[in-house]
Structure formats: structure tokens, C-alpha cells
A = this chain, B = another copy of it.
Amino acid sequence: MRTDSEEMDPTMAHEPGAPLRVALLGCGVVGSAVARQLVDHADDLAARVGAPLQLVGIAVRRPQRPRPDVPVDPTLFTADADGLVERADIVIEVIGGIDPARELILRAMAHGASVVSANKALLAEDGPTLYAAADAADVDLYYEAAVAGAIPILRPIRESLAGDDVRRVLGIVNGTTNFVLDRMDTSGAGFAETVEQAQALGYAEADPTADVEGFDAAAKAAILASLAFHTRVSSGDVYREGITEVTAGDIQAARDMDCVVKLLAICERVTGPDGGDAVSVRVHPAMIPRSHPLASVRDAFNAVFVEASAAGPLMFYGRGAGGDPTASAVLGDVVAVARHRVAGGRGPGESAYADLPVVEMGRSRTRYHISLDVADRPGVLAQVATAFAAHDVSIETVRQQAAPGEGERAKLIVVTHAASDAALAATVDALAELESVDDVASVLRVEGA
């Protein structure tokens, strides 16, 4: 369709009606769904773009392997990813991981291709390098599928809310951990047992570390925070606590408070040490009230709750993973960047003008829910309250329960007002040292008030 001389200038305008050459890097669960949808919906996609999308190759490690679920000409499979990206107008990267994905994306852009990626790890680790390369090549870099799968969330934050000020993002962005916590809530079972169930059902991988330790959610938090606050935030800036320490007792403590425990990716505009705006970006389990819209997000679904100054509360809900749902987001981006190649223009690039500092976790303001096993005698509550006051942490509620069957023991449940996380952590340490406190049975942050 294109002459050799046209291929020499990758940035030249698209010839009206000529096909756009699409290269696919990776053909796992997401890649094969993308390939299928490119084929099955070819007519619709062409009508929406204004030009046909022509799949010119699929880079895989083993091109000879039979792939009956991918209905394309088998000669399209190639091990030569480097060569493939040089002969495409649009490159779809669904390999994941840092290398070779990064080199391939940079090579593609250097050759004038627009890039659509689902690679949260890479975007969160090295987004600015990719943005700079996209700017230098005057091409698009889109990655809606990198966060919350099928849910349109990056485009709404980057474009729909571009005239507003995002105050806070609370996201359930990891389906595996939401499945596990939801099952723990409904069954009363413990963490290890529930992870085994999730593995048996295909909701958790054999090595669930990336999910249950919060690495996956932290990468997504970095991407969300970058877009929401026009500030560079990378994975390393994100405070991260997984769900491996969440016990059946924590879940029960949450139930007693009419709350549920969720692993949240939290991006907040806060007051920095110098009194100016700053951002707090963190991933940790937290109690949220059952009345909060995020509380009803069940199973492996994802949802992102956004609070903006003018818009108020918004929530975006849907499937956060899986081949077809992720492919939906990928193909939405493919249509967008293809339209730009046909009609001219580019989508918004990196916006990091605000350049806000990221505060360390100790300075983030949170609330704590703390269950203490204590001696049931006069003066204990005063000791406990003194420990809070000594760290300048204000108590919102205290509830005392007799521990069943143990006449001289009781349970104290304390919920604090917001205080610095460092002060709260120090308070918990001090409580553990108190002679009248047998055990700090459960400590959970509380969000969503």
C-alpha cells in the first residue's frame, strides 16, 4: 500500500483510505484476544478509524507453535520483534515486564509508530523516558489497559477531568486481592486457605507475590497519581503493604464496624511539609464502610473512586483483568491513535507541570482501627488513652467488650481521628509495651470516610 519512499519518512501524513499497519508484540491471553478482535471486528474498526487496520505481524518467542485460538495467517507470527516494529504504523505491546518491552517500544517510536501498551510495570517504572520518546517522534503513547483492565479510567482522568482538580483517588485495582478479601469476608476463612481457593479457581497465580504483596497495585497507583496530579510518580515512590498479614480476625473486626477490608490504591492531594500541595501515594489494606460505593465491589471486579473539586465523587467499575476485557481497552486506544494518524493530531502527552512532592508514608494522614486485648480492671483505659495522647493522636471512639470466657480480660477497640501515619505507628508500638495490654490483636487503617 505504501511505497518505499513513503516508508522513509515515518512522520508523514497518512494517505487517505490506506490501511494502517498494526504490529502485535506478545500473544498470551491478552494478545490473542486482541488479535481475535482485530480480525472479527475488522469492518467496524475500519469504519470507526476511517481506514482499515491491517495486522502485519505478531511477535512471539515460538512462531512455529500452533495457535488454533488465533484466527490469523500463521505466517504472521515472527520471532523478529525488532524487525516487526519497524514496519508498523501502530505497535501494540502486550508482552509485559520491563525488557525487552521498553527497547521495542522505543524502537517502534523511533521508527514513527504510535504505541499502545498494557504494560503497567514499565509505565510505572520508566514512563517519563517513554513519554519523551513519544514527544521526540511526535507519536502517540496510550496505555488505558495498564490500569483496571476494561474500565475506562485513564482517559477520564487525563481528559474528562482535565478542567477539574482531582483531590483523591481510591482504587480497587487488583482483582486477585479483591477476590481473596471478598471471600475471606463471606466465608470467614483465613488468608492462606483463601489464596489456595483463588489459585484453584484461576483467580491467583501459582506465585501470587505480585498481587498479594501489592506490587501490581503499586504500579497502577503510580500511574493514576501521575495523571491525576500532573506529577511524575514512579513505583518506587509508592508506599506498599500487601494483604498477607490480613487475618480472619481483622475481617471480623471490620464486620463489627460495619466495614469491609479492601486493598486500596490511594492517591491523595495533601499538604506538604512546606505547607504547599503535595501528594500521598500508597497501597495498603484498609477498612471502608459498607455504605461506601467501593464496598460493594465483589469478586475479582475492579473499581476506581475519584473525588474532584468540582465534579464531586465519581466511580468507575468493571472487569480489571482477563483477555477480552483488557483487549477492549487496548483496542479503544488503537482506534484513538489510528484516528490521529488518519485525521492528524496527537492525544495529550505527559503532563507533569505541577511537579508536586510525594510525601513519605509517615506524613500521610490516616485513621487507624486498633483492637487490643487488655486486662479488665480500672485504670487500663486511662493508660491506653494516655499513650494516644502522648503521640498527639485523637481518639474518635473506644468500645470495650468483655472477652468471652475470660473474666479478667477484655477487648478494647479504638478508632482514631486522622493523624500522621508515623504518630499512629508509634502509638501502636507504645501500646504494645503497656503492661496492661496483652496483645495488639489487629491494626488496620480506615479510609473512605
Contact = CB atoms under 8 A, between A and B. Distances in A.
Interface of A: 33, 37, 41, 44-45, 47-48, 144, 150-152, 155-156, 159-165, 230, 293, 296, 308-319, 322, 324-325, 327-336, 339-340, 343-346, 348, 351, 353-354
Contacts of A163: 37, 41, 45, 48, 327-328, 330-335
Contacts of A315: 315-318
B332 A159 contact: yes
Contacts of A159: 152, 155, 332, 335-336
Contact of A317 (B33, B230, B314, B348): B314
A162 B335 contact: yes
Contacts of A336: 159, 162
B329 A319 contact: no
Given A160-B152, A164-B331, A313 B318 contact: yes
Given A165-B44, A311-B329, A317 B293 contact: yes
A46 to B, nearest CB: 9
Nearest to A48: B162
B311 A319 contact: yes
Nearest to A47: B353
A308 B328 contact: yes
A330 B330 CA distance: 27
Contacts of A351: 47-48
Contacts of A345: 340, 343-346
B319 A312 contact: yes
Contact of A156 (B33, B37, B155, B325): B155
Nearest to A312: B319
A339 B348 CA distance: 8
Contacts of A317: 293, 313-317
Contacts of A162: 48, 331-332, 335-336
A165 B41 contact: yes
Contacts of A327: 163, 310
Interface centre among A151, A313, A315, A328 (most CB of B within 10 A): A328
Contacts of A33: 310
Contacts of A318: 311-315
A314 B160 contact: no
A152 B41 contact: no
A33 B312 CA distance: 14
Interface centre among A296, A316, A327, A354 (most CB of B within 10 A): A316
Nearest to A305: B317
18 contacts: A47-B351, A48-B162, A150-B310, A155-B156, A159-B332, A160-B329, A161-B328, A161-B332, A162-B331, A163-B330, A163-B332, A163-B335, A164-B331, A296-B296, A310-B331, A311-B318, A339-B348, A345-B346
A394 to B, nearest CB: 31
Contact of A160 (B41, B144, B343): B144
Contacts of A329: 160, 311
A151 B153 CA distance: 12
Contacts of A296: 293, 296
A330 B311 CA distance: 10
Nearest to A149: B311
Nearest to A327: B310
